[in-house]
Structure 1
Amino acid sequence: MKVITAVISTGSTSAAAQLLNVSQPAISKTIKLIESEIQMPLFERTGRKLRPTPQAFTILPDLDRMISSHESINQRIEEVRLGRRGVIKVAAAAMASSGLVPNAILRYRREHPNVDFAVTTSTTKEVSRLVYENKVDVGVCQRSIGYSSICSQAISSALIVCAMPDSHPLANLDVVTPEDLMPYHLIVSNFNEPVLGARIAETFTRRGLHPLRTLECNISLTSFALVSAGLGVALVDSYTVPIVGVTTRPYRPKIALQVHTIFSGDQPLSPLVSAFCDCVAQAAAERHRSTMPG
């Protein structure tokens, strides 16, 4: 295709050979082979010049498009090979999707501006399933349980904190304890995260306390909205970014949530995904420093 378009544009095999950096006999041989293959003349010979036939001009636009597509594919292959372009599919638990994952993508885009992302937010259980079924490249959540083929890498810890309106009496405290929460309606995480719910409940039962539980919510961002609406105070993870009008205070005793990147052990990570996992770990370390009190 390149030979035909080069000869049409230059008008001679020698000029086309120079343009394509090959020998003139190679150009002439290629033209003869093409014409024999398609059983149709593409050039008329007049001395040392080659004049395109009407048939050649007819197929020229299609040849140009095909060459352009071929070059685009080669460029895309090279970009993917070097980790410069592609699509990374990420599944993240809600606690990681509001702050950690966006910060990791922002960090990643500084070095890989042409890489696209598809992000799905769900529960830890669903994130694990998506990774297990190879529907996403990487998951960011608490440790996966029940899938032996999934590999996980611990990257950071979040803490349970207490969320309340900015003007709430609890906002005057440095640390919130179960005893402090007894006068107030409490929003806790439990639905689809039973282990976390049990750990929160244990901080009360150990002390013989029974809080005024009014709502259960499995997504911290929704808990913030419920707090903002005046429906109570909430125990949420420290990774989720609070909404306007809501503030958080450390909760004691400490409840730590280990955050992992998880991925399928059935196939190696691509350079793109491996580099993104590094960015998640870096963003997690930064978030950890900003949210974990000394």
Structure 2
Amino acid sequence: MRLRQIEIFHAVYSCGSVTMAAEYLNVSQPSVSKVLRNAEDTLGYKLFDRIKGKMVPTAEAHALFEDVKGIYDQLGALQNRANNLKLGRSGHVRIAVMPALGLDVLPRAIAGFRQKHPDVTFDVSTAHFSEILSSIREQNCDIAIAFNPPALAGIARHPVGRGEFVCVHQAGDVPIREGRVSLAALNEREVVGIRSSGPLSQLLAAHLQNSQVQLQSVVSVQTYYIAKNLVGFGCGIALVDHLTALAGSEPALERTPLEPAIPYEVVALSDEGRPLSRVCANFLRHFREVYAEVGTL
């Protein structure tokens, strides 16, 4: 049976008459009768007996309906799926982010999005900047979110927001004036340093050089979150991104912006040759909203 024949058979069987089936399908009665006759000719047996104006299913129709119902239900599910994909309410989103974004903002965004769209699934990976670029170019992710990425050929940019570097320290460890700590006041200080991890560490190094400030790295780590935790256990101070500074609730740890400020962009990246799906575009809009709400100092 063809799909149209399945649809007509299901409607007539369920409604009990050609007239009601035609109304249900919003088609003419003759078209329903014609498709039904074609189905019976194709099958080689009758599906309904016409008794007193009613369509009474034959034994073959009863047996066939069990399978037809399953197919019809699948067709309905397929239609719903297609509509949800059109509206961006269903699908799969693959995201690669810098570790700091996975501490609070991204989990909040995913949880909030799935409350509204429970049919959307996610795959999340955290990586350093070079790995994120590889993930985009090898099409292993749909969206990547990074700090201060440079403009790159073949990579589309979707601005999310802004942030700035923060000094995390124990209470009283740094001189604070008008809510900020001067870079000059940190000259020769012992810090937990970050090994080069892409554009963000390059930005910090350039600002320190321009300000003629030298920091003494006593411990070197790969992620800002580990640096922050080391400060929490008494290992000096650290200059970290603002999202890392905001995450967690260490009571003895303070976070103070720098003077002059060292700002940076938060940008979503994607393959320029592969436009974002509706669900990815919808999630990105939602992520921006969450970032604006909880991702600023």
State the 1:207 CA deviation: 4.4
Query: Paired residue for 1:162?
Result: 167
Q: Give the SS at the match of 1:118.
A: strand
Q: 1:15 to 1:243 in 2, by over 3 A?
A: closer
State the 1:120 CA deviation: 2.2
State the 1:71 CA deviation: 1.2
Please provide the CA RMSD for this pair: 3.4
What is the number of residues matched between the two proteins?
A: 287
The answer as to 2:269 corresponding to 1:269 is no
Q: Give the SS at the match of 2:219.
A: strand
Question: C-alpha deviations, 1:234-276, integer Å up to 9, x for none?
Answer: 2211122232223211234533332212121113333433343
The amino acid across from 1:117 in the alignment is F
The answer as to 2:59 corresponding to 1:54 is yes
The answer as to 2:147 corresponding to 1:142 is yes
Query: Paired residue for 2:218?
Result: 214
Structure 2 spans left out of the alignment, 5+ residues: 1-5
Equivalent position to 1:67, from 67, 72, 80: 72
Q: 1:217 to 1:194 in 2, by over 3 A?
A: farther
Q: Give the SS at the match of 2:227.
A: helix
State the 1:218 CA deviation: 2.9
Distance 2:210 2:157 in 1: 32
Q: Give the SS at the match of 1:169.
A: coil
The amino acid across from 1:231 in the alignment is C
Equivalent position to 1:152, from 140, 154, 157: 157
Identify which range, 200-209 or 78-87, moves more after superposition.
Answer: 200-209
Distance 2:260 2:69 in 1: 69
State the 1:27 CA deviation: 2.5
Distance 1:206 1:18 in 2: 78
The amino acid across from 1:70 in the alignment is L
Query: Paired residue for 1:80?
Result: 85
Identify which range, 251-260 or 229-238, moves more after superposition.
Answer: 251-260
- Asked if structure 2 preserves the Cα contact closer than 8 Å seen for 1:156 and 1:281, the reply is yes
The answer as to 2:244 corresponding to 1:237 is no
Distance 1:4 1:106 in 2: 43
Percent identity of paired positions between Structure 1 and Structure 2: 24
The amino acid across from 2:274 in the alignment is Q
Q: 1:12 to 1:238 in 2, by over 3 A?
A: closer
Distance 2:133 2:214 in 1: 34
The answer as to 2:142 corresponding to 1:124 is no
TM-score, normalization by structure 1: 0.79
The answer as to 2:264 corresponding to 1:257 is yes
Q: 1:260 to 1:49 in 2, by over 3 A?
A: closer
Identify which range, 175-184 or 30-39, moves more after superposition.
Answer: 175-184
State the 1:192 CA deviation: 3.1
